């Protein structure tokens, strides 16, 4: 690979890193061609972009990026696959579901919602992260709950009052 090609790859990686809110680094070494193909298909269905990159080029792209990746460049050893997604927990769910058939991929690290997670131990925590849409739905549900209680209280109170007035008028 020539210097110009490397510079182009670094520039493309820097752009992808800047445009992606969720970035996962995984180790898929040891997967055979069929399993790798299955992982790529599963990633495509989950709207996760999967790419295998050279560690040195990715490290240079991380340095050139405006984002602060902290200790993430330190995990760039061995085979590294990049997973980009708009949904924070989609790559973690993909890894967890794929591990039901195999012991790979291993999570090396993740950059999710401006936070950095290093190591495979954080996989369960990353799976449980709620997406923006889920959080908005929960907040709306919580905001609607008190209003529903007030309305139902007024309706039931009005019915009781009408019943009392009717009983009094009949006497």
pLDDT at 153 over 80: no
The tokens 């058939």 sit on which residue? 101
The model's pLDDT over 107-118, given as tens digits with 9 standing for 90+, comes to: 888 888 778 888
The model's pLDDT over 66-88, given as tens digits with 9 standing for 90+, comes to: 888 888 888 888 888 889 888 88
**Dist. CA 171–CA 95, nearest whole Å:** 73
Is 27 found in the same domain as 87? yes
Q: Are 45 and 82 in contact (CB under 8 A)?
A: no
pLDDT at 169 over 70: yes
What pLDDT score does 142 carry? 78
User: Does residue 147 or residue 130 have the better pLDDT?
Assistant: 130
Is 72 found in the same domain as 42? yes
User: Does residue 147 or residue 47 have the better pLDDT?
Assistant: 47
Question: Domain range spanning residue 152?
Answer: 130-171
Domains of the chain: total: 2
Average pLDDT over residues 43-51: 89
- pTM metric for this prediction: 0.73
- The backbone torsions φ and ψ at residue 67, rounded to the nearest 5 degrees and listed phi first, read -75, 150
Is 144 found in the same domain as 78? no
- DSSP structure string for 71-82: TGGGG--SSEEE
Is 55 found in the same domain as 100? yes
What pLDDT score does 73 carry? 82
Element (H or E) spanning 15, and its range?
helix 3-19
Packing angle, helices 90-98 and 33-45, rounded to 10: 150
Is 153 found in the same domain as 109? no
Which of the four pLDDT bands, split at 50, 70 and 90, describes residue 151?
low
pLDDT at 158 over 70: no
What pLDDT score does 155 carry? 67
**Dist. CA 106–CA 108, nearest whole Å:** 6
E strand spans, the chain: 22-27, 49-53, 80-85, 106-112, 115-118
Cα distance from N-terminal residue to C-terminal residue, the chain: 99
**Dist. CA 55–CA 99, nearest whole Å:** 24
User: Does residue 105 or residue 170 have the better pLDDT?
Assistant: 105
CATH at residue 101: 3.30.70.1730
Is 155 found in the same domain as 73? no
Which of the four pLDDT bands, split at 50, 70 and 90, describes residue 157?
low
Instruction: Give bridge partners of residue 52 from the DSSP assignment.
Output: 81
Which of the four pLDDT bands, split at 50, 70 and 90, describes residue 159?
low
**Dist. CA 153–CA 171, nearest whole Å:** 27
């Amino acid at each position: 690979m020539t210097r110009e090609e490397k510079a182009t790859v670094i520039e493309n990686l820097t752009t992808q890193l800047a445009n992606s809110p969720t970035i996962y680094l995984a180790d898929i070494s040891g997967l055979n061609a069929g399993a790798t193909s299955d992982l790529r298909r599963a990633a495509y269905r989950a709207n996760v972009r999967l790419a295998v990159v050279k560690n040195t080029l990715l490290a240079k792209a991380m340095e050139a990026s405006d984002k602060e990746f902290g200790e993430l460049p330190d995990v760039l050893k061995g085979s590294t696959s990049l997973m980009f997604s708009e949904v924070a927990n989609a790559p973690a769910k993909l890894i967890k579901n794929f591990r039901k058939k195999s012991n790979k991929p291993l999570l090396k690290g993740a950059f999710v919602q401006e936070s950095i997670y290093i190591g495979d131990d954080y996989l369960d925590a990353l799976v449980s992260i709620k997406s923006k849409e889920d959080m908005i739905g929960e907040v709306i549900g919580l905001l609607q709950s008190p209003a529903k209680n007030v309305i139902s209280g007024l309706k039931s109170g009005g019915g009781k009052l009408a019943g009392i007035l009717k009983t009094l008028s009949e006497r």
